A and B are shown apart, each in its own frame.
Chain A
Amino acid sequence: MPLTDSLRDEILGSVPSLRAFAISLSGNSDRADDLVQETLLRALANIDSFQPGSNLPAWLFTILRNLFRSDYRKRRREVEDAEGNYAKTLKTHPSQGAHLEFEEFRTALEKLPQDQREALILVGASGFSYEDAAAICGCAVGTIKSRVNRARSKLAALLYVEGAEDFGPDETVRAVIGGSGG
């Protein structure tokens, strides 16, 4: 498909969600923007291979996801180090209320295996169907479903069970965990 102005507009329209996906995957906004930039360059360079009428966001997400995965293998060690330092930073600032809860969520998300994390984000945040998410990840629909389920279970365990005592959950969370008996 030739790169028309309307196609450029559609590509630009996907940029906000591409950034959100990239940040959710990498946990680092600078790196995420590099990924988005690389994705756009590749997409524009390969625009001829885009099928008119097919799902443009899914095509762009596929490019970004593949870039992230090849990059991830190279940087794995680096990322793990960064995670360790990040956790230390959190512990030295114990009283940040809602902000802490947000960071805690992000940290928990980063602890998920990559397959599960990307499946959860694509379905639960980007709003792709299971079928589109399966196409983006190059796997079966059933595989995506089971990754999403495992991701949810693991996040629940990390955020609302395992970490409960360390972080001193509020009444609501206790009630939820304990079944709201009073």
Chain B
Amino acid sequence: MKDVKSQASKNAAPRKPGGLNSEIQSRIGHQLRAMYDDVVRQGVPDRFAELVRKLDVPGGQPQVEDGGGSNDQNGRD
């Protein structure tokens, strides 16, 4: 499984030198990523962290730890 970060590096700022003015294209690319990264930098809001940590899979087996330390997986609302 790859994460988003490792994918980001293989595909940064593709340009079309023959098409639109590449100066404008690089400006658009920059603004697009600035807008996006602004949100990415906000990290994981608590509500999502709790949701993913606490939700049990319907019909799934109880969590089995392989010695990975403790967490709050048994938390209930």
* Interfacial residues, chain A to chain B (CB-CB below 8 A): 2-6, 8, 10-17, 19-21, 23-24, 33, 36-37, 40-41, 44-45, 47-48, 52-57, 101-102, 105-106, 109, 120-121, 123-129, 132, 149, 152-153, 155-156, 159-160, 176-177
Contacts and interface: CB of A to CB of B under 8 A. Distances in A.
A132 B7 contact: yes
B19 A8 contact: no
A13 to B, nearest CB: 6
Given A15-B52, A16-B39, 8 more contacts: A3-B63, A13-B4, A15-B44, A16-B43, A52-B1, A109-B35, A153-B19, A156-B25
A21 B33 CA distance: 11
B32 A2 contact: no
Contact of B53 (A8, A16, A102, A123): A8
A92 to B, nearest CB: 23
B20 A127 contact: no
Given A33-B45, A40-B51, A176-B21, A14 B36 contact: no
Contact of B7 (A23, A124, A127): A127
A37 B58 contact: no
Nearest to A8: B52
Contact of B32 (A17, A48, A124): A124
B68 interface: yes
Residue among A33, A45, A120, A152 with max Cβ neighbours from chain B (10 Å): A152
Contacts of B60: 2-3, 47
Interface residues of B, number: 53
B20 A16 contact: no
A105 B35 contact: yes
Contacts of A155: 28
A71 B55 CA distance: 24
